[in-house]
Chain A
Amino acid sequence: MTEVPVAQKAAAFEARIAAGEKIEAGDWMPDDYRRQLIRMIGQHAHSEYVGMLPEGEWIDAAPTLRRKLILVAKVQDEAGHGQYLYHAAETLGATRAEMLDALLEGRAKYSSVFNYPTLSWADVGMIGWLVDGAAIKNQLMLAQCSYGPYSRAMVRICAEETFHHLQGREMILTYASGTPHQRTMAQDALNRWWWPALMMLGPHDADSPNSPQLKAWRVKTKSNDEVRQEFLDEHAPELLAAGLSIPDDDLYYDEETGHWRHGPIDWAEFWRVVKGDGPCNAERLAARRAAHDDGRWVREALAAHAARASDRASE
């Protein structure tokens, strides 16, 4: 059989993308498509995994049994979402062991937003409303991704993530119309989480070098700024309607375009946090490493048990 030239394969690949087809694991794909997807999906998986930590700290301190059950279920979901995504990256040839090593050794990135501390119980609600609210906008976009396994993982995640968003929104709305102390707690949480939530959707389009190629391949179907605008247009009016103030003096509603506009984002802070120097980067990685080390004996015991059972079966 004669080998098809790469240029011809690339043209056929691009035609499939243009026709709205989903690329599957065994299909030919450009090396860079594979590499970019492994990078993105790996970062996304790590974000779900590290994302268990800021809220997980509050499980013991949940004020009611109902809130505790909700939070336990949400943290379990984040673990599950990490698994869906590690699976999607694995279909491209990455291994879970390599990805986990990269995370634990500090070589892999994850969402900047999880490097901020959760200082009060209301942070759990505000993370649900804002951080999960921002994440869903991004995930709905990625559910249309041209790579089948990533797209399907995203559809499954979006269906579950809506619960995370709504339970947080319900909690904050309750506190915003509650006692003075509850209102203060909700406002304080908003003051600290507003900007990290806007930042987590990534640099402005002009500073996002991978975006044009990712859009051409329909890995992403919207730019960072487009997704951030959707987030802002939904959340700004709802937060204000709840009687909370958004910590941005430059925020306004633009009548002409029908969009909300935010003030300048502190990108120096964003890059500091992404590059490892946020308030909790060291603590988050230390917690993940401790969990990995503490679980070692379980993994070893499972492997030993399976090996012995298989020896017995072959006797």
Chain B
Amino acid sequence: MTADGQLPRWEVFKQDSSNKAHAAVGSVHAADAEHALLMARSVFARRPSAVSMWLAPQWAVHEYTREQLAEALAAPGQQLAAPAHYLVFLKTSDRRTMAAYEHRGEVIASGANDALRAAVPAELPLGVWLVEATAVIATDPADAEPWFAPATDKRYKQQSEYAVSVKPQPAGREGS
């Protein structure tokens, strides 16, 4: 348990298909990595669009909105003993979507502020998440089939299974 009486929070990044990027979909609270993966599958992979998930404990995720970027970019870099590896997620649009922060690459830097300077493109994105790579846990590619296939088999969860039509009667006062 953490100080606030809850199990630790893990951010969940789901990949919908092999040609798409992992993207932030929400979070789960879980005691350890194994529990977190099971929770994430139950919460975020009840439908077919999932081939891989990454999870990171909340302390390893550094979030910057557009508002916060300017200040963070100007801040002095932290001095770490050794360079660290960060996954970079960018938000580039305000369009209607389920997942706005998408994986765009990796940087190696000596702290989050240095990583930010390395990660942020010249045209400022709407938001940046940096995730400490050593803290990330991932679904095992060898388990992808048994892990995600059951959602695909359950056709009755698809709206296309209920293509029933009903013809509205000519409008009029009911019973008249």
Contact = CB atoms under 8 A, between A and B. Distances in A.
B117 interface: no
Interface stretch (B82-90, B104-112, B168-176): B168-176
Contact of A76 (B46, B97, B168, B172): B46
Given A69-B154, A90-B9, A173 B164 contact: yes
Nearest to B45: A80
A25 to B, nearest CB: 7
Contacts of A66: 156
Interface stretch (A53-61, A250-258, A279-287): A250-258
Interface in A199-256: 237-238, 240-242, 245-246, 248, 251-253, 255
B46 to A, nearest CB: 6
A27 B65 CA distance: 6
Interface in B98-152: 98-100, 126-127
B1 A303 contact: yes
A248 B173 CA distance: 11
Give the most central of B94, B154, B158, B164: most A CB within 10 Å.
B94
Given A21-B94, A87-B26, A163-B162, A26 B157 contact: no
Interface residues of B, number: 52
A22 B174 contact: no
Interface in A114-172: 143-144, 148, 151-153, 155-156, 159-160, 162-163, 166-167, 169-170
Contacts, number: 135
A79 to B, nearest CB: 8
A111 B126 CA distance: 34
Of A66, A90, A152, A170, chain B has the most CB atoms within 10 Å of the CB of A152
27 contacts: A20-B94, A22-B100, A24-B65, A24-B66, A27-B65, A73-B154, A76-B46, A83-B26, A83-B43, A84-B43, A90-B27, A96-B6, A143-B96, A152-B100, A159-B47, A160-B47, A163-B157, A169-B164, A170-B162, A173-B164, A173-B166, A237-B168, A237-B171, A245-B174, A252-B174, A253-B172, A302-B35
Interface of A: 20-22, 24-28, 66, 69-70, 73, 76-77, 80, 83-84, 87-88, 90, 95-97, 143-144, 148, 151-153, 155-156, 159-160, 162-163, 166-167, 169-170, 173, 237-238, 240-242, 245-246, 248, 251-253, 255, 260, 299, 302-303, 305-306, 309
